[in-house]
Structure 1
Amino acid sequence: MKTKLMQPEHQRRSAQRGWPEKNIDNLCTEIFIKIQKCGSSTNGGVARAIAAHRNLGGVHEGNVFSVACRVPEDEGCMVHANHGTASLFRKCRLEQRTPSTGTRASEGDVHREVASASTRVRLNSFLWTTIRDPRTRALSHYYQQNVKSKKPSEEEIIDWIAQVPGTFMFDYMGGLSVTPDNCQGTRTTQEGLSHDTADNQWANLPDDWDRGFVECKLNHLLDSYDFVGLIERQDESLVAMKLLFKLDFKDILKMSSKIRKDGKKLAADPQAMLQSYLDQEFYSKAYVDRVLHEMANARLDATIAHYGNAFYSELERYSSLSADAREFCEIPESVSLTYSPEYKKEHGKIECYWNDNGCAYKCLDAFAQQHETYDSA
């Protein structure tokens, strides 16, 4: 029997509020936490477009270690949209001045200026990410890491996924550094949510965990971000961002970076044994990430409900413009298709902000300007 992705009573409990509005006209620091296999290359391109349209630095940089530790006073306003956990940014901040206070951060200050609610300058910074159902994320991660392998057996895939932490997204977003100790429940220590803790039983005993305790931790984590989108609801997430942060359509027009194609090396869909493992054993182990995904989904629902018909009008407009932009720019389904000799011969080399992030941006900007899609609806 398959485990349901959503449990209505839990969704109702989590949907207390939507994401707050924020004007980012004075944006100086944009951080996109680029979680592996969460549509991060495509949305990393969106993050770079938002930054480019506001003259931030770092738009074409790809080395996270070269930009993560920069501060506005020293390097100017920057965007960070490369792989690297939130904890990487916090480690940098421990060794530098905190712009909001003008003093050096202490070893005990684990909250980084751009990655936590308590110390970052929220007025001119923008922290966001995108997440995904932990089952499909883990499976996609397997394919990425084993792309050169022969067609794998279900047992091989299960053995690999069994090593994936059930708190992968929570940890990547910096949950342990942001969430407080005062959440009450069956487990009341931060170490209990860390897969690195020697005596942690979370991976094997998920039923021991109290839902209210986990929700408390996750609410604090979500509150430390300006927005967390969902890959399964990509267009809805981007349109919600447009309304919340007063973006233009040109900020969210995009070209998909990666779309998995079925081939000799990859199974088209999980077979019975693998699907059963994902839906039962792994989904149970990934309880924290599953509730994180559920709560972000509920916040998106609440945000959409807040805007009502205005949201759906914007969504319809965005869908229409996206289709027209793909035709106008002759954009293929995925960036990988632009590498073929035939495409290069006809269209030349496609221009991207960095690697396969934000490709065809010049044409998309030209399309937006021509159609005046950036005017407020």
Structure 2
Amino acid sequence: SRAAAKEGILYVKQVEASTTIFSSVTANIARIKGMQQTQAQNNSTVNVCTTRLTSQRAMRYRDRVPEKSFLWSVVREPVSRLVSKYYHYGEVQKKSGTYTTKLSRFQNFIFNLEAQDYGYYFRSLAVNRRMNPGQKEHERDTRELLESYDFLGVSERMDESLAVLKIILNLDIQDVIYLPIQKAKATKAKLADGSDGGFVDYFDRWKKDECRPILKPDIPLEMKEWFYSEEFEAFIEADVMFYKAVNASLDKTISELGRDLVEKTVKQVQWAQKVAEKECQNARFPCSSQGEIQKETDCLFSNVGCGYKCLDEVGTKLYNDPEFQALL
């Protein structure tokens, strides 16, 4: 549902910040908690814990009830997020060109088409008011955002973030395991002129009957050098500041929970995730690893929560696995 919600588990999606993975975890938590409530009440009607996976519209949650909701999101290193966004949504594979023109197209994508990306996290995560990063109140805005959320994770620290989430919400291991989108099998994309493009990373459901190839980022030296220019650093300064603050906040949370407990939980998450990816490798996604549309999938919806039935079975097996039990 897209309706505003005041209760439940509320996740704010950030473009190209491991969104599918964390959306899947959020939806799975809601599904499992609903099933547990149903069993506890001996009810024939299946309950579903209220959840929302809102894309960049955190202000929908400004009227939430803190005691009855859990608001969270995940951030990604700003440069990596922008590069990933370019390779996902830009015109990367439509025409060939030199490294210089690749840089030119990237700059055009950043400055002309995506001007709203300056201070992206402040714009997309703001809950109580609209933030204007152009006012350069980054420290004030950072404090407000950190206080607005129950938890903010870091994409590059996925295992730690999921371990902390598990501890905070007292979750079971099957609540925080997931299946990543299937990687393409050594496939090259075709450019508009018929030449080979870069290697395909994975296929994404783009239209009703189309799986679009998403290329593996191929960053030329000129682009890497531009990342250290004053022009680009000024463009990402706000997001870099917030990203560092979220990392520091995660470190603080880990210290408060106890580093030993978190590290122990990380090992559980990593073990369970490895088993899940092995046992559930045949799960059907909207797009196959060859780029074929699969109308019948094993997902909760779209590409979210894929392989959920298999993941439930993995969770049951793990609690009967002596090696996993030794990690508890």
Gaps of 5+ in 1: 1-26, 57-74, 91-111, 114-119, 179-189, 194-199, 203-208
Alpha-carbon distance change, 29 to 269 in structure 1, aligned in 2, over 3 angstroms: same
Alpha-carbon distance change, 342 to 158 in structure 1, aligned in 2, over 3 angstroms: closer
2:201 counterpart of 1:249? no
The answer to whether the 8 A contact 1:218-1:292 is kept is: yes
Give the alignment's TM-score, normalised by structure 2.
0.73
Could you tell me how far 1:54 is from its partner in structure 2?
Answer: 1.6
Which residue pairs with 1:371 in the alignment? 318
Alpha-carbon distance change, 151 to 52 in structure 1, aligned in 2, over 3 angstroms: farther
- Structure 1 counterpart SS, 2:267: helix
Which residue pairs with 1:85 in the alignment? 57
In structure 1, give the amino acid aligned to 2:218.
D
Alpha-carbon distance change, 174 to 370 in structure 1, aligned in 2, over 3 angstroms: same
2:141 counterpart of 1:217? yes
The answer to whether the 8 A contact 1:258-1:336 is kept is: no
2:33 counterpart of 1:54? yes
> Structure 1 CA distance, aligned partners of 2:107 and 2:226?
7
Q: Which structure is higher in RCO with an 8 Å CA cutoff and minimum separation 6?
A: 1
1:206-261 deviations in Å (ceiling 9; x for gaps): xxx5xxx5222211111111111111111111011111221111110011137688
Which residue pairs with 2:219 in the alignment? 270
Alpha-carbon distance change, 335 to 222 in structure 1, aligned in 2, over 3 angstroms: farther
Which residue pairs with 1:352 in the alignment? 299
Whichever structure has more strand as a proportion of its residues is: 2
**Which of 312, 325, 331 matches 2:276?**
325
Q: How many residues align?
A: 273
Alpha-carbon distance change, 268 to 224 in structure 1, aligned in 2, over 3 angstroms: closer
> Structure 2 CA distance, aligned partners of 1:370 and 1:343?
31
Which residue pairs with 2:39 in the alignment? none
In structure 2, give the amino acid aligned to 1:78.
T
Which residue pairs with 1:305 in the alignment? 255
- Structure 2 counterpart SS, 1:149: coil
Could you tell me how far 1:77 is from its partner in structure 2?
Answer: 5.3
Which residue pairs with 2:242 in the alignment? 292
2:80 counterpart of 1:136? yes
The answer to whether the 8 A contact 1:38-1:131 is kept is: yes
1:170-189 equivalences in 2 (<5 Å): 170-174=122-126, 177=129
The answer to whether the 8 A contact 1:37-1:137 is kept is: yes
Could you tell me how far 1:283 is from its partner in structure 2?
Answer: 2.8
The answer to whether the 8 A contact 1:131-1:293 is kept is: yes
Alpha-carbon distance change, 258 to 139 in structure 1, aligned in 2, over 3 angstroms: farther
**Which of 7, 14, 37 matches 2:16?**
37
1:115-158 deviations in Å (ceiling 9; x for gaps): xxxxx211110111111111111111111113652346221112
> Structure 1 CA distance, aligned partners of 2:265 and 2:161?
12
With 284-293 and 257-266 compared, the bigger mean Cα shift is at 257-266
Gaps of 5+ in 2: 1-5, 36-46, 189-196, 199-214
1:72-111 equivalences in 2 (<5 Å): 78-87=50-59, 89=60
**Which of 94, 99, 118 matches 1:166?**
118
RMSD over aligned Cα, in angstroms?
3.3
Give the alignment's TM-score, normalised by structure 1.
0.64
